[in-house]
Amino acid sequence: MSEVRHWHRDLGTPPSAAPQLLTLSIDGMAITAPAGTSVMRAALGAGIGIPKLCATDSLAPFGSCRVCLVEIDGRKGMPASCTTPIEAGMVVRTQTESLARVRKGVLELYISDHPLDCLTCAANGDCELQDVAGEVGLREVRYGTSGANHIEQPKDPSNPYFVFDPSKCIVCSRCVRACDEVQGTFALTVVGRGFDSAIAASAGDAFIDSECVSCGACVQACPTATLIEKTVLDHGQPDRVVKTTCAYCGVGCSLQAELKGDQLIRMEPDPDGGANHGHACVKGRFAWGYTTHPDRVLTPLVRERIDQPWRPASWDAAIAFAAERFRAIRDRYGRHALGGISSSRCTNEEVFVVQKMVRAAFGNNNIDNCARVCHSPTGYGLKQTFGTSAGTQDFASVDAADVIVVIGANPTDAHPVFASRLKRRLREGADLIVVDPRRIDLVRSAHVEARHHLQLQPGTNVALINALAHVVVTEGLVDENFVAARCERESFERWRAFIAEPEHAPEAVEHHTSVPAAQLRSAARLYATARNATIYYGLGVTEHSQGSTMVMGLANLAMATGHIGRDGVGVNPLRGQNNVQGACDMGSFPHEFAGYRHVSDPMVRGMFETRWEVPLDAEPGLRIPNMFAAALAGSFRGLFVQGEDVAQSDPNTRHVADALRALDCLVVQDLFLNETAAFAHVFLPGESFLEKDGTYTNAERRINRVRPVMAPHAGLTEWETVCRFATAMGYPMHYNNAAEIMDEIAALTPTFAGVSFAKLDREGGMQWPVTGPESHGTRILHEDAFVRGKGRFMLTRYVPTEERTNRRYPLILTTGRILSQYNVGTQTRRTANIAWHEHDLLEMHPHDAETRGIADGDAVLLASRKGSTTLPAHVTDRVPVGVVYTTFHHPGTAANVVTTEHSDWATNCPEYKVTAVEVQPTGMRSSRNDDA
Ligand code: SF4
Ligand code: SF4
Ligand code: SF4
Ligand code: FES
């Protein structure tokens, strides 16, 4: 039995949370367990072995394999222990001669239809059928293996990551149930009956052509080698485990990296992971091959000018080169000519040292991070209303929601593991309201249908949220008790009068939003009158010229209806990148120290000055767009960019490129020579998440450990590199390990005061605030009072974006992600995920396509006032007339060439979601239309 696979002890059926405890006797041992526990779980939990095949504790019991039979006093026959709940006083026997005989007989039947190639099977040592055969003492098969069987069935290797070998299938349905219950995709079925029963993906398609989304839950659930990872086939079984955290999205799934020596064999989701409870998606589970991709640059590179070829250099030489240039800029142009951009993909510790370097070694506050282009409005909006910049709930809270609003987010693609949980709640009966210009999968998919899809025009969010609030206020749906007890009276009354104005009525805004007034009223009533209603939102809320206004609008609505401060409610940003929350928490902003405290606050600044032994600037520094503008103006000359491809991910790519080109020295730290590195003078190799030691903070504020699975490929960790650079700039920075950086963060940041690596290793991930050694974190914010005391209502007047359509640019472009790719694709394009999305596509409505003579798969020119690009068209009614949509995963498409410089009024977050465009046929069929 492999030590790795059974790192988690599988007790056969899920635990029961019932408060009542019952005592029974199993094999003469008195055992007490919660009511609702299965006999199997009670026995296995007490160390009494019962064989099992179709049962596993991540799935509801099914009772099909009949190997787990037991005898129970007073019951006829031999009930299956997995489907039999315990009762008080029950007397159970698990080991009798008759049970042994029956179990052996059942196993004989399975084995007689199974290839007897255990010695050469990739699952040898990790196969539950093999284990159970041993457990029941099966030594011979009386029926032989020459009768009718399935042994010659062909394999399906079509999935890039796993193989389906039906000859080994015992039709236990674990895969089918995992796909239904855990993932919620319903891609698998048992077809045929009796001997002809078989597992089929969709309607008998190859896996790659089926509805399967490659989450791997079925592979994990399969007790045999029928569904097995290709890496296990290639390299054999793993023999050790390192627990870590996924580095893709803000769900922050806990993973177990399973290795054989230094070879990573597979990534299994951690059943104890607070964010994911044993589930993962195609990215976290499978798409880690980029970490060893040959494109990785493992040697520092330098060059005098960006038109010269790179020269390899030692770490010391590269850092000295960069520091000398930065010092020269500082001497000539002053300390404000330098700055840094850190990354929401890096650990808290890495981000912290970068902002410290900028403040203490460069001597200014010119530090920003990529949250600027995604969730900075969340920071502003939630701080103004609630008092802190963070999601209010943990993911588990959705289990208690009765109405779920998903607005400007596409969880099945961008936050898949949370989406699976959300869909489970919907299958249990919760109602769903989707607010999105595009018909995302959640609107209708297997066993899920939104009660309302408010298909608004891009750019009209604030008009819509005001109309929802108008219905609440004018139809008497305000939770007056909550508002009176928990919110500022004056701000509420002002807001109530404002929002009751007729201009906010659903009928009045219909011409802006295109959402039928009656439907909007109905959705508002559903949200307001629910026992528990909750809001989840994404970049479709923030990346607008009124992103901050919209976040405040969401907060106003939640406060007015009392849907805040307990389980099942709240306002929750679904963070795009793994550590957006953490990068913001760590003070990676030009105006705030760690813990969202303004740089002008003398008390806070004094604390940092004392600890860092250096005077700090009291003036906020430059935001990313201001850095680019200052670079073009000549006052900003040296930039350090950590793990961020601004040349591809920031709006109006040409403007960004011109700014980068204008710098005297650009230092890029990354895994690959990305688009930004084309403008760099120094390239410092970075680490993949498999090499990092530190923490990420997910969308629920959960601080999770990231542990090194392998040594840094380039020989130096990212935080060490930054410390050496700061030291070379004249400000000595030194830590012995990443844990010491967290100790400094904890000492300087009240919400992290009780966090240390040792505590996280002992207790698992914790949600901040973790206020001291006794604190284990905080599941739900604002329970008794808002962080700012009383909740504050903010006025949210709708101001249409300046980005207007006209005859020349009559369509609105909006952007998003798909499941298999991640952001600008730097990582996922270097994995087998490329099988699903080789190119970005432009979705357009059949009407818009037809009027322009465009057919599905045609290459089209997408042009805005800022630029143009070419990509294949995908004609679909997922988008409404007048709206086109694309992803931005491929540099070849350069979708950001067309996006504009419009940005959120409060935070400068770019308005990625609204660009006026025209689309024209190029007269060519796309050579890339195979996936169109
Ligand atoms: S593929 Fe695996 S999990 Fe699915 S029915 Fe066959 S043996 Fe069971
Ligand atoms: S990989 Fe996931 S989606 Fe695909 S069949 Fe298995 S469980 Fe279902
Ligand atoms: S849901 Fe997000 S964090 Fe979880 S495995 Fe997928 S990409 Fe990673
Ligand atoms: S494990 Fe109980 S019937 Fe299969």
Q: Which residue minimizes the CA distance to atom 2 of ligand 2?
A: 215
In the predicted structure, residue 924 carries a pLDDT above the cut 80: no
In the predicted structure, residue 373 carries a pLDDT above the cut 70: no
Q: How far apart are CA 725 and CA 641, in angstroms?
A: 13
**What spacing in Å lies between the alpha carbon of 15 and ligand 3's midpoint?**
25
Nearest ligand 3 atom, CA 417 = 1
Nearest ligand 3 atom, CA 248 = 7
3-class DSSP assignment, residue 174:
helix
Average pLDDT score over residue span 641-658: 84
3-class DSSP assignment, residue 920:
strand
Please report the pLDDT score of residue 379 as a whole number. Answer: 83
Q: Which residue minimizes the CA distance to atom 1 of ligand 4?
A: 52
In the predicted structure, residue 557 carries a pLDDT above the cut 70: yes
Rg (CA), the chain: 29
In the predicted structure, residue 85 carries a pLDDT above the cut 80: yes
Nearest ligand 4 atom, CA 68 = 2
The answer to whether the CB of 822 falls within 8 A of the CB of 804 is no
3-class DSSP assignment, residue 646:
helix
Residue 678 backbone phi and psi in degrees, to 5: -60, -20
**What spacing in Å lies between the alpha carbon of 52 and ligand 4's midpoint?**
5
Q: Which residue minimizes the CA distance to atom 6 of ligand 1?
A: 169
Ligand 2 pocket check for 188: Cβ under 6 Å: yes
DSSP 290: G
Ligand 2 pocket check for 183: Cβ under 6 Å: yes
The answer to whether the CB of 697 falls within 8 A of the CB of 768 is yes
User: What's the whole-model pTM score?
Assistant: 0.93
In the predicted structure, residue 303 carries a pLDDT above the cut 80: yes
Q: How many CB atoms lie within 10 A of CB 670?
A: 24
**Which one of 65, 78, 173 would you pick to mutate in the ligand 4 pocket, going by the greatest count of ligand atoms within 8 A of its CB?**
65
Nearest ligand 3 atom, CA 578 = 3
Q: How far apart are CA 410 and CA 419, in angstroms?
A: 9
Ligand 2 pocket check for 411: Cβ under 6 Å: no
Q: Which residue has the higher pLDDT, 670 or 835?
A: 670
Please report which confidence band the pLDDT of residue 830 belongs to, taking 50, 70 and 90 as the band edges.
confident
Residue type, 414: A
∠ CA 251-254-259, nearest 5°, is 135
Ligand 3 pocket check for 216: Cβ under 6 Å: no
Instruction: Characterize 354-382 residue by residue with b for buried, 16 or more Cβ atoms within 10 angstroms of its Cβ, and e for exposed.
Output: bbbbbbbbbbbbbbbbbbbbbbbbbbbbb
Average pLDDT score over residue span 224-232: 94
Nearest ligand 3 atom, CA 276 = 4
Q: Which residue minimizes the CA distance to atom 3 of ligand 4?
A: 63
Please report the pLDDT score of residue 925 as a whole number. Answer: 61
In the predicted structure, residue 2 carries a pLDDT above the cut 60: no
Please report the pLDDT score of residue 6 as a whole number. Answer: 47
Angle, helices 506-513/517-529, rounded to nearest 10 degrees: 120
pLDDT tens column, 889-905: 766 666 666 777 777 77
Average pLDDT score over residue span 328-345: 95
The answer to whether the CB of 101 falls within 8 A of the CB of 66 is no
**What spacing in Å lies between the alpha carbon of 222 and ligand 4's midpoint?**
14
Ligand 3 pocket check for 213: Cβ under 6 Å: no
pLDDT tens column, 675-727: 899 999 999 999 999 999 999 999 999 999 999 999 889 999 999 999 999 99
∠ CA 655-657-660, nearest 5°, is 110
Give CA separation, 764 vs 269, 312, 706, 740, in Å. 14, 41, 11, 18
**Cα Dmax for the chain:** 92
In the predicted structure, residue 147 carries a pLDDT above the cut 70: no
Ligand 3 pocket check for 281: Cβ under 6 Å: yes
Ligand 4 pocket check for 106: Cβ under 6 Å: no
Please report the pLDDT score of residue 586 as a whole number. Answer: 95
595: tokens are: 């813990």
Q: Which residue minimizes the CA distance to atom 6 of ligand 3?
A: 281
Q: Which residue minimizes the CA distance to atom 5 of ligand 1?
A: 171
Ligand 4 pocket check for 63: Cβ under 6 Å: yes
Q: Which residue has the higher pLDDT, 466 or 202?
A: 466
Instruction: Characterize 911-921 residue by residue with b for buried, 16 or more Cβ atoms within 10 angstroms of its Cβ, and e for exposed.
Output: bbbbbbbbbeb
Does residue 769 have a cis bond before it (omega within 30 degrees)?
yes
Residue that is written with structure tokens 């008497």 in the block: 476
Residue type, 602: P
**Which one of 177, 185, 230, 413 would you pick to mutate in the ligand 2 pocket, going by the greatest count of ligand atoms within 8 A of its CB?**
185
Q: How far apart are CA 577 and CA 822, in angstroms?
A: 9
Q: 156's torsion region: left (phi>0), alpha (psi -120 to 50) or beta?
A: beta
Please report which confidence band the pLDDT of residue 193 belongs to, taking 50, 70 and 90 as the band edges.
confident
Q: Which residue minimizes the CA distance to atom 4 of ligand 1?
A: 175
Q: How far apart are CA 731 and CA 703, in angstroms?
A: 29
Instruction: State what percent of residues in the chain have pLDDT above 90.
Output: 76
pLDDT tens column, 272-286: 999 999 999 999 999
**What spacing in Å lies between the alpha carbon of 56 and ligand 4's midpoint?**
9
Please report the pLDDT score of residue 144 as a whole number. Answer: 57
Nearest CA-CA partner of 707 in 738, 671, 744, 735: 738
In the predicted structure, residue 110 carries a pLDDT above the cut 50: yes
pLDDT tens column, 418-477: 999 999 999 999 999 999 999 999 999 999 999 999 999 999 999 999 999 999 999 999
Ligand 2 pocket check for 182: Cβ under 6 Å: no
> Which ranges of 300-370 would DSSP assign to H, the alpha helix?
315-333, 348-356
pLDDT tens column, 395-416: 999 999 999 999 999 999 999 9
Ligand 4 pocket check for 53: Cβ under 6 Å: yes
Please report which confidence band the pLDDT of residue 128 belongs to, taking 50, 70 and 90 as the band edges.
confident
Average pLDDT score over residue span 809-831: 83
pLDDT tens column, 30-61: 999 999 999 999 999 999 999 999 999 999 99
**Which one of 276, 822, 823 would you pick to mutate in the ligand 3 pocket, going by the greatest count of ligand atoms within 8 A of its CB?**
276
Strands 842-844 and 858-864, how do they pair? Answer: unpaired
Sheet architecture: strand order including 766-767: 694-697, 702-706, 766-767
Give CA separation, 684 vs 241, 642, 719, 795, 828, in Å. 30, 9, 12, 46, 21
CB-based burial of residue 396 (10 Å sphere; 0-12 exposed, 13-18 middle, 19+ buried)?
middle
**What spacing in Å lies between the alpha carbon of 19 and ligand 4's midpoint?**
26
Nearest CA-CA partner of 176 in 151, 201, 208: 201
Average pLDDT score over residue span 193-199: 80
Q: How far apart are CA 618 and CA 423, in angstroms?
A: 47
> Which ranges of 489-645 would DSSP assign to H, the alpha helix?
489-499, 506-513, 517-529, 539-542, 547-560, 580-585, 602-612, 624-633
Q: Which residue minimizes the CA distance to atom 2 of ligand 3?
A: 249
Residues framing ligand 1 (Cβ under 6 A) = 169-175, 199, 221-224, 226-227
Q: How far apart are CA 880 and CA 665, in angstroms?
A: 46
Beta bridge partners of 915: 813
Q: How far apart are CA 284 and CA 544, in angstroms?
A: 29
Give the range among 113-127, 133-147, 459-473, 867-881 with minimum mean pLDDT.
133-147
Ligand 3 pocket check for 249: Cβ under 6 Å: yes
Instruction: State what percent of residues in the chain have pLDDT above 70.
Output: 95
Q: How many CB atoms lie within 10 A of CB 660?
A: 24
Ligand 2 pocket check for 213: Cβ under 6 Å: yes
Nearest ligand 4 atom, CA 52 = 1
Nearest ligand 4 atom, CA 82 = 2
Q: How far apart are CA 827 and CA 834, in angstroms?
A: 10
Please report the pLDDT score of residue 115 as a whole number. Answer: 79
Give CA separation, 247 vs 162, 280, 690, in Å. 22, 12, 9
**Which segments of 686-745 are extended strands (E)?**
694-697, 702-706
Please report the pLDDT score of residue 123 as a whole number. Answer: 79
Q: What does the mean pLDDT of the chain come to?
A: 91
DSSP 302: E
pLDDT tens column, 757-772: 999 999 999 999 999 9
Ligand nearest to the CA of 201: 2
Give CA separation, 459 vs 308, 505, 748, in Å. 44, 18, 40
Average pLDDT score over residue span 597-610: 96
**Which one of 156, 159, 177, 183 would you pick to mutate in the ligand 2 pocket, going by the greatest count of ligand atoms within 8 A of its CB?**
183
Q: 27's torsion region: left (phi>0), alpha (psi -120 to 50) or beta?
A: left
Please report which confidence band the pLDDT of residue 350 belongs to, taking 50, 70 and 90 as the band edges.
very high
Give CA separation, 457 vs 471, 509, 863, 878, in Å. 20, 11, 20, 13
Please report which confidence band the pLDDT of residue 140 belongs to, taking 50, 70 and 90 as the band edges.
low
Q: How far apart are CA 445 and CA 186, in angstroms?
A: 10
**What spacing in Å lies between the alpha carbon of 921 and ligand 3's midpoint?**
37
